[in-house]
Each structure stands twice: as structure tokens, then as C-alpha cells.
Amino acid sequence: MGLVKAIGITLLLIAYPFLSAYLAKRGFASLELVVFAALTLWRGFQFKKWALRLGSLLLTALLLAGAYYANAYFIWLVPSFAYLWLTVLFGHTLWSPPSLCERLVRLQYPDFQPGIAEYLREVTWAWTLFFAVNVVVCAVLPAMAGQQAWAVYTGLVVYLLMGLLGVGEWFYRHKRFPDMEIPPAMETFKFMAMNGHKVFKGISS
């Protein structure tokens, strides 16, 4: 069930940009923003940290303001909000170690050789910067290149870039740690898809 849920969420994220463009053209921008505002508020009440609750409330208010003024541009900003959340989440663990990537790896391998924790911190930095750049890219694309370019980038290109970053790291890991036994990439992906949520719950609770 965990893998099926992960696949379902992934498909929804991929379909979102194209669905958003379709709904916005037909005047349903406000309805979509209200739905996201409700989901954000519901998720916010589940946080135990006051800062995360406050952030969720502010984001909910911003989405509702966009819905009230029927501003479709707020729809194009939703991916930027998501990447901002990921930037904060990954960045938070750089100042409050262990890093997020180390926490993920320890789910599968509780103990590993010296030097790996430092390497995983570097990987966390790379992902933090990647998400931070995408906050800006996803926000300016609709205004500078149009909605179609935004939909293609947020629904396809950004995931290809994520895949390249992940595959590149996997090959680099072999080069940097030639004597370390590294499981197949698909085996790791399946494990993380089914168990990765445990790390995110631990950070946000």
C-alpha cells in the first residue's frame, strides 16, 4: 500500500500543472485555490511546532486571498510554495543535524562507515540549492515564458532534472566510495517510497 500511495502522489504531482492550466482557462482558478487552502490548513493543524503551524496559516491566508480576487497567477505559484517548503525542510536539517539525506539513509542502514555522514550532508546541500532555485524558476516562468512553458517545466522538465540529479549522485557515490557495497537504485527507491515519510513526520512533529 505504501508504494501504491507513493506512486499515486507522484502521478498527481505530475498531472497538477496541466490540470491547473486546464481549470484556469475555464474559470475554475478560485475553486482550485480553495481546495489547496483547505488541504494546507488541515496539514497545518497536524504540526506540533508552532512555526510550522504559523507558516501553514499564512500560506492558507495567501491562497484564500488569491481565490477571493480570482487571481489565476496564484495557481502558478503553488509549485513554488511546495519547493519553498522543501528548501526549508532540507535546509533546516543542515543547521539541526543529522542532515535529511542522512536520516533517510539511516532508515535502511542504521550504521555506516566514517565519512558517509559528511558526504550525505553535501548531498543535502545539493538538494536544498536545487529546490531553492526552483522556487524562483517556477514563479517567474508564467510571467516570462507563458503558462504552457510553465506547465511543461513543472510537469516534466523539473522531474527529469530530479532524476538526473539522483542518478548522477548514485554514480558519483560509486566513484567516491569504490569499496562500499551500494544496493541497486530501484531497490533504494522502493524502500524510500515506502518508508521515507517516517523521516518527514519526525522533522515536522
- Dist. CA 126–CA 120, nearest whole Å: 10
Report the percent of the chain where pLDDT is more than 70: 79
Other CB atoms closer than 10 Å to residue 162's CB: what's the count?
14
b/e 61-88 (16+ beta carbons within 10 angstroms → b): ebbbebbeeeebebbbbbbbbbbbbbbe
pLDDT at 9 over 60: no
Q: Record the cell numbers describing residue 36, joined without a space.
A: 489547496
Residue 181's pLDDT band, with cuts at 50, 70 and 90, is confident
pLDDT at 23 over 70: no
Say what the pLDDT of residue 5 is.
56
- Dist. CA 26–CA 18, nearest whole Å: 13
Give the domain ranges of the chain.
73-204
Q: Record the cell numbers describing residue 205, joined without a space.
A: 512533529
- Dist. CA 196–CA 104, nearest whole Å: 6
pTM over cut 0.95? no
- Dist. CA 189–CA 205, nearest whole Å: 24
Other CB atoms closer than 10 Å to residue 129's CB: what's the count?
13
First to last CA, the chain: 23
| pLDDT averaged over every residue in the chain | 81
φ and ψ at residue 11, rounded to 5 degrees: -65, -35
| pLDDT tens digits, one per residue of 141-179 | 988 998 889 889 998 899 999 999 998 998 999 899 888
Task: For the chain, state the CA radius of gyration.
Answer: 18
Residue 137's pLDDT band, with cuts at 50, 70 and 90, is very high
| pLDDT tens digits, one per residue of 42-85 | 877 777 777 777 877 888 888 788 777 666 677 788 888 889 88
